[in-house]
Amino acid sequence: MAKPIKTVAVVVTTIDEPSPGVKRYVLADPDGWQLPPFRPGAHIDVHLEGKLVRTYSLCNAPSDDARYVIAVKRDPAGRGGSRYMHDELQVGARIGVSLPRGGIRTSDSAMNVFVAGGIGITPFISAIRDLEERGRTNYVLHWSSMGEPSLSDMLGPALEGGRVRLYNTLVESKPDIPAIVGAHGSEALAYCCGPAGMLQAFESAVAHWPDERKHVECFTPPKPAMDGSAVPYTVVLAKSGKEMVVAPELGLLGTLEELEADVTVSCAGGICGACRTPWIEGPPVHRDRVLTAAEREREVIVCVAGCAGPRLVLGI
């Protein structure tokens, strides 16, 4: 049986810096072919030198299938991915990217309420461009930033149509999130991506909403909580037959690395979905912010997972 495709080869065709500290990259097929399709707000994993893998939202509309556009904010205190992208990656470089995954489900009839902070705008650019291209203007964007927003040139029709409220938090208050999400009726869909404080305010404001009407995107993994009651268990790789005891101090991710398991890891914090893996026996302890309840019945985000039984058998 052929192995599933893990990466697609692309070439960096354009790099620009729309605002200081934020670079935008256009990726295309080396031979000019169409790239695999994606949903609005989907993500790709970018595979860089030194086994660096980082996850970024696609900013272009799904109809723009000849390229992938991503934007990366330089984070000097990060784990090295944004520094490499800013300092090393050049036009003409050939890299691998994953097939796009995930995305944002918008409504063609109910109001779509987007709340973004800083570079958290990236998944919503794609969703808004898709709505605009399809003649749908049933949305509003509340976007805060410290100073002038980056990437605003990608939202021309939205800005011109008065569907965007910008907040420069250097000179004005932050968005009143409870008021924003509460102003659009019981059928509205609300989406948020931004720093931790914004996400906390949003999740509190929509805590009583049905899951299908709210969507959160994280770009900074939360600090993992230490489980003082964790006990060792055995992880088994079903296809290879490899197994190893998972000691609490090493964790599942460290153990999979020891086993040289075929798992791609990007965020290591349960927010990107790069390491979603089928499971056969467990049950796993799920700690991610990616999978739905239904998906957790058959998949697990291994970078943050544990096990509630003596054995965790993974379908890899």
- Please answer whether residues 46 and 54 qualify as being in contact, where contact means their C-beta atoms are separated by less than 8 angstroms: yes
Domain 233-314, CATH 3.40.228.10 — does that match? no
Amino acid at 30: P
**What pLDDT is stored for residue 67 in this prediction?**
97
Asked if 68 and 44 count as a contact pair (C-beta separation under 8 A), the reply is: yes
Q: Residue 295 — pLDDT band, cuts 50, 70, 90?
A: very high
What's the rounded mean pLDDT across residues 27-56?
Answer: 94
Angle at 270 between CA 264 and CA 275, to 5 degrees: 20
In this prediction, residue 2 carries a pLDDT of 45
Domain residue extents for the chain? 8-97, 112-217, 233-314
Q: What global pTM score does this model have?
A: 0.84
Instruction: Return the pLDDT at 94.
Output: 96
Mean pLDDT of 33-59: 93
3-state secondary structure (DSSP) of residue 172: coil
3-state secondary structure of 88: coil
CATH T-level topology, domain 8-97: Elongation Factor Tu (Ef-tu); domain 3 (2.40.30)
pLDDT in tens, 55-104: 999 999 999 999 999 999 998 877 788 999 999 999 999 999 999 998 99
- The Cα 199–Cα 204 span in angstroms is 8
Q: Supply the DSSP symbol for 67.
A: -
DSSP 3-24: PPP--EEEEEEEEEEEETTEEE
- Architecture per CATH, domain 112-217, reads as 3-Layer(aba) Sandwich (3.40)
